[in-house]
Amino acid sequence: MVAVTWGLGGTAAGSSCRKNSEDLTPTGLLPVVSWIDVYTRATCQPREVVVPLTVELMGTVAKQLVPSCVTVQRCGGCCPDDGLECVPTGQHQVRMQILMIRYPSSQLGEMSLEEHSQCECRPKKKDSAVKPDSPRTLCPRCTQRHQRPDPRTCRCHCRRRSFLRCQGRGLELNPDTCRCRKLRR
């Protein structure tokens, strides 16, 4: 239930969203988060998000990954205008150990995931940048042969078939070179 009150102080009639008595102020009301705190929390900035690994890796690398999702810093939040969107302006790769289970065995492997370190509100891309007969945006070509630009961010990523080729050979994909390499233990 969401209770909204407009004006200076006070509560709406019948708005009882209490969890328990410890959450109440001495006057018996729920504490109010100040406007500046609400605004600051919602602005465009890197924030911790949960990323399912199968989505991040564009396909499964093993029968099961443990954990099946991880937390990383990614850009998110509100921009002061509807014509703007929160996009990363600084990013880096972070390596994480993941348990890869392929019945009957399992092994520890490392995966590189992108984290955002800086964000900015920038103008949204116009729909006119997309050709009507193609879902691709007009991104520059990637320098690596096996990479393709992400149509939303124009950042280069390895092709899906590169992940699958490495998976089929029991190897991991190096996201910088798009080449297979031995799993690190």
pLDDT in tens, 7-59: 555 444 444 444 565 666 777 788 999 999 999 999 999 999 998 887 455 44
* Nearest by Cα to 110 from 32, 26, 184: 184
Q: How many domains is the chain partitioned into structurally?
A: 1
On the question of a cis peptide bond just before residue 88, with omega within 30 degrees of 0, the verdict is no
pLDDT of residue 130: 45
29 within a domain of the structure (yes/no): no
23 within a domain of the structure (yes/no): no
* Cβ-contact 142, 148 below 8 angstroms: yes
14 within a domain of the structure (yes/no): no
130 within a domain of the structure (yes/no): no
Q: Read off the CATH number of the domain in which 57 is found.
A: 2.10.90.10
Cα dihedral: 99, 147, 140, 152 (round 10): -40
pLDDT of residue 147: 79
pLDDT of residue 7: 54
3 within a domain of the structure (yes/no): no
pLDDT tens, per residue, the chain with 185 residues: 555 555 555 444 444 444 565 666 777 788 999 999 999 999 999 999 998 887 455 444 556 788 989 999 999 999 998 999 999 999 999 999 988 887 788 888 888 889 999 999 999 887 544 444 444 446 777 777 777 887 777 778 887 777 777 777 778 878 777 888 887 65
pLDDT of residue 131: 47
Provide CB contacts within 8 A for 103, sequence distance 6+: 63
12 within a domain of the structure (yes/no): no
Q: Domain range spanning residue 99?
A: 44-125+141-181
pLDDT of residue 127: 57
* Cβ-contact 46, 117 below 8 angstroms: yes
- DSSP result, 96-148: EEEEEEETTEEEEEEEEEEEEEEEEEEEPPPGGGS-TT-S---PPPPSSTTEE
pLDDT of residue 157: 81
pLDDT of residue 146: 72
Distance of CA 175 to the CA centre of its chain: 17
pLDDT of residue 129: 46
30 within a domain of the structure (yes/no): no
Structure token digits, residue 98: 């993941």
101 within a domain of the structure (yes/no): yes
CA distances from 169 to 60, 84, 99, 163 (A): 13, 43, 17, 10
